[in-house]
């Protein structure tokens, strides 16, 4: 039988020394390597910080929801001006000055408002499907194209995933949308009517 030299204590000490040496090497390496995210903002000028804070102050998270024609603020002539009550009865009466409303500088906007007032407030689409891959959406669009129905594939992010929608439209009236949906249903493909606020 072969007699062992050393023991448990010697193995423990050698393992402890080796572990401390590895920890020392890792600690020296980590302290010498520059931190990638900490050094970037240190060299920014103060005027850039001021501009960014002003931008963030005026930032509106709902700006994409307003659409292409955001609502305009009311002009000064249209706003109500509060007046102070007469402080004394012996003061001279102030002559009433009539304020005429400003001439509207947007005649095309007025024309569109009157036109849209009588029109349907929605735009309609007939959606054939929503697919995870562009290839599936293009395949469905090609099938409909062979049937004589021209559709479009649009990309949209929903719930963190990209969805490719196959749609026909935009259609201006509900009757047009119903007719298009019936035409698609005649080919044996299910479709859904989607309405979008103008």
pLDDT in tens, 42-80: 566 777 878 888 877 877 777 777 766 655 544 444 444
Domain-by-domain residue ranges, the chain?
11-60, 119-197
Eight-state DSSP code of residue 99: P
d(CA 21, CA 27) in angstroms, rounded, equals: 10
Sign of CA pseudo-dihedral 4, 7, 8, 14: negative
d(CA 6, CA 27) in angstroms, rounded, equals: 31
Residue 10 has pLDDT above 70, yes or no: yes
**Predicted local distance difference test score (pLDDT) of residue 28:** 93
Which residues on adjacent β-strands are paired with residue 124? Answer: 171, 195
> Phi, psi at residue 137, to the nearest 5°?
-65, -45
Residue in the structure block whose two tokens are 């290839």: 135
Between these two residues, 120 and 196, which has the higher pLDDT value? 196
Residues sharing a CB contact under 8 Å with residue 191, sequence separation 6 or more, in sequence order = 126, 127, 128, 168, 181, 184, 185
**Predicted local distance difference test score (pLDDT) of residue 78:** 44
- The answer to whether residues 123 and 172 touch, using CB atoms and an 8 Å cutoff, is yes
Which SS3 state, helix, strand or coil, does residue 113 take?
helix
**Predicted local distance difference test score (pLDDT) of residue 83:** 44
Average pLDDT over residues 113-136: 76
Q: Which two tokens stand for residue 64?
A: 């994409």
User: What CATH number matches the domain at 119-197, 3.30.230.10, 3.30.70.1070, 2.60.420.10, 3.40.640.10?
Assistant: 3.30.70.1070
Between these two residues, 74 and 157, which has the higher pLDDT value? 157
Minimum mean pLDDT range among 20-34, 54-68, 98-112, 157-171: 98-112
pTM: 0.39
Pairing of strands 192-197, 152-158: unpaired
């Amino acid at each position: 039988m072969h007699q062992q030299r050393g023991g448990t204590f010697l193995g423990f000490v050698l393992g402890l020394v080796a572990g401390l040496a590895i920890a020392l090497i890792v600690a020296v390496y980590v302290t010498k390597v520059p931190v990638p995210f900490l050094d970037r903002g240190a060299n920014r000028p103060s005027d850039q910080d001021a501009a960014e804070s002003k931008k963030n102050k005026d930032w509106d998270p709902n700006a994409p929801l307003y659409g292409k024609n955001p609502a305009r603020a009311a002009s000064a002539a249209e706003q109500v001006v509060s007046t102070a009550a007469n402080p004394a009865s012996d003061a001279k009466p102030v002559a009433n000055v009539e304020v005429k409303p400003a001439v509207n500088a947007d005649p095309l906007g007025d024309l569109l408002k009157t036109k849209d007032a009588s029109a349907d407030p929605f735009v309609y689409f007939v959606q054939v499907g929503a697919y995870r891959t562009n290839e599936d959406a293009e395949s469905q669009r090609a099938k409909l194209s062979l049937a004589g129905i021209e559709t479009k594939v649009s990309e949209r992010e929903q719930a963190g995933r990209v969805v490719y929608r196959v749609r026909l439209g935009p259609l201006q009236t509900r009757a047009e949308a119903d007719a298009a949906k019936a035409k698609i249903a005649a080919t044996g493909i299910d479709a859904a009517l989607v309405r979008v606020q103008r």
